[in-house]
Amino acid sequence: MTITFIHAADIHLDRPFLGLNECAQAMQKRVRKSPFTALSRLVQTAISRKVDFVLLAGDIFDSQDRGLRAETRLRGYMKQLAEGGIDVFMIHGNHDPLDGHWSGLTYGDNVHVFGPTPEVYRYQKPGGPSVNIYGFSYGSQHVPENMIDLYQKEPGSDYHVAMLHGSIKGDAIHDVYAPFTVSELLNKGMDYWALGHIHKGEILHEDPPVIYPGSLQGLSVKETGDKGFYVVTLDHEQVRKEFVKVSDIIWENAVLDITGIHSFEKLVQAAEDLKEHKRKAQEGVLFRLKIIGQAPSDLAADGTLFMNLLEVLRTGEEERRDFVWCMDIEDEAMPAFHLDKLRNSPHFIGDVVRLIEQKDSVKEDLSALYNHQQAKKYLFPLSEEMQKALIKDAEKLLLTGLHKMGADAKVFETDVISQNAEIRGVFSKAK
């Protein structure tokens, strides 16, 4: 009386993957192919494990203007599943709504695409149990209303599985589509909720399971770590679920503290050790490197330091299948100032440090920009984390600028700072 199926979502076929211009051509091609690679691995897993059916919970394509190449390749994958006797139940999300551009290709009799209002398909396992599968596709790109009331559990099947492409009510991070609460889902009495839309995998409830599998392949540096899908087995005693990794490209963030590093050679060694720690056996890795800590004055004064480091880290990687490619380097290191002494100083620089550290918002400073009739259309709200980062960057720019004028940490501790009209002028302009 068991049923086994795959739950996947957010494949985003034909993703353009911008920002790869500095990568080698072969590497760019592999990254852009990675959603297809991940889907191919899903298909092979479904066939080898002889699952009963596959659920695709929305955003199969990256754009509502689907490319013929992507549709043709999807059709081929669906044919492979049909040859393995595997049905597919598919809903479309906000990226690939039903009113988008279609070539007219169909995917085969084994593929069941849900319409724009919640409906049910009945799956009957040969010689086994039956499953009612519920869901709906986005008719257009925006579905702002709650659709849960339209899901009606129908009697007559052994199991009930529902698909939904949407987000939790009140989600402040993601665009809200087809909003719901977990309690609303649980009240429907389903055995499993197969969610899509949120690219970070998350289990919202264990019994019955309410699950976001996350994107099938990481699509940007914001989607770090392994990506994949769930293989789920239903029986009347329990629900078993296994996460299967299929992403071919892994996005990562890396942090390197350079405090105590006094030469470029030591910096390179530390960065390359970190890079090797990120290397995978078969997958390619794209990572961003953030430099933190206190930089010795000789390194801090080198304007080409991190450009040179980036070149060293990239050398030879484009030739490897298991490449680890540094996309860019974010410099958040501070020159080796004695910040505690500066903070407690009664002089001008002490005032600067204390004022910056007391500041926790930049809304007032940016109000003219955000209220500008034209500019505000192109701006997005700044989170608390973003505002703190701006303030930290301002502190670094001020202290580094003063340092480059010849005012090192020892000078900061003297009365020269308080008497230096030129430095006061620099601060006034920077403000």
Q: How confident is the model at residue 298 (pLDDT cuts 50, 70, 90)?
A: low
Tell which wins on pLDDT, 358 or 261: 261
Quote the CA–CA distance of 396 and 357 in Å, as a whole number.
Answer: 12
Q: Which DSSP helix (H) or strand (E) runs through 43?
A: helix 25-49
pLDDT in tens, 379-420: 777 887 788 778 777 776 776 666 555 444 444 444 334 444
**Distance set, CA 317 to CA 272, 311, 325 (Å):** 12, 11, 6
In this structure, what token pair is assigned to residue 209? 């399971």
CB 232 within 8 A of CB 7: yes
| Residues ≥6 apart with Cβ < 8 Å to 278 | 252, 254, 285, 287, 324
Work out the average pLDDT over 77-103.
Answer: 92
| Residues ≥6 apart with Cβ < 8 Å to 363 | 370, 382, 387
CB 251 within 8 A of CB 220: yes
What distance lies between CA 62 and its chain's CA centroid?
14
User: Within 13 Å and on the Cβ side, how many CA atoms surround 349?
Assistant: 29
Residue 426 has pLDDT above 60, yes or no: no
Residue 232 has pLDDT above 60, yes or no: yes
Q: How confident is the model at residue 357 (pLDDT cuts 50, 70, 90)?
A: confident
Residue 21 has pLDDT above 90, yes or no: no
Quote the CA–CA distance of 216 and 311 in Å, as a whole number.
Answer: 31
Residue 401 has a pLDDT of 65
**Distance set, CA 236 to CA 126, 160, 193, 233 (Å):** 18, 12, 16, 10
Work out the average pLDDT over 128-139.
Answer: 96
Quote the CA–CA distance of 18 and 396 in Å, as a whole number.
Answer: 30
CB 66 within 8 A of CB 101: yes
Q: How confident is the model at residue 372 (pLDDT cuts 50, 70, 90)?
A: confident
Residue 301 has a pLDDT of 59
Q: Which DSSP helix (H) or strand (E) runs through 293?
A: none
Residue 355 has a pLDDT of 78
Residue 50 has pLDDT above 60, yes or no: yes
Work out the average pLDDT over 283-300.
Answer: 85
Average pLDDT value for the chain: 86
* Residue 192 phi, psi (nearest 5): -160, 135
Q: What is the bridge-based pairing of β-strands 334-335 and 130-135? A: unpaired
CB 211 within 8 A of CB 7: yes
In this structure, what token pair is assigned to residue 373? 């009739």
pTM score of the predicted model: 0.79
Q: What is the bridge-based pairing of β-strands 228-234 and 3-8? A: antiparallel
Residue 423 has a pLDDT of 45
Residue 410 has a pLDDT of 47
Residue 362 has pLDDT above 80, yes or no: no
Q: How confident is the model at residue 361 (pLDDT cuts 50, 70, 90)?
A: confident
Residue 332 has a pLDDT of 83
Residue 111 has pLDDT above 50, yes or no: yes
**Distance set, CA 258 to CA 327, 392, 404, 427 (Å):** 19, 18, 20, 28
Output 408-415 pairs: Cβ under 8 A, ≥24 positions apart.
408/297, 409/336, 409/337, 409/338, 409/341, 409/342, 412/337, 412/338, 412/341, 412/342, 412/345, 412/347, 412/349, 413/338, 413/341, 413/342, 413/345, 414/347, 415/347
CA angle centred on 98, ends 38 and 58, rounded to 5°: 35
Query: CATH assignment of 3-246?
Result: 3.60.21.10
According to CATH, where is 3.60.21.10 located in the chain?
Answer: 3-246
Tokens 């009240």 belong to residue? 187
In this structure, what token pair is assigned to residue 271? 């960065």
Quote the CA–CA distance of 228 and 339 in Å, as a whole number.
Answer: 45
SS3 letters across 21-34? CCCCHHHHHHHHHH
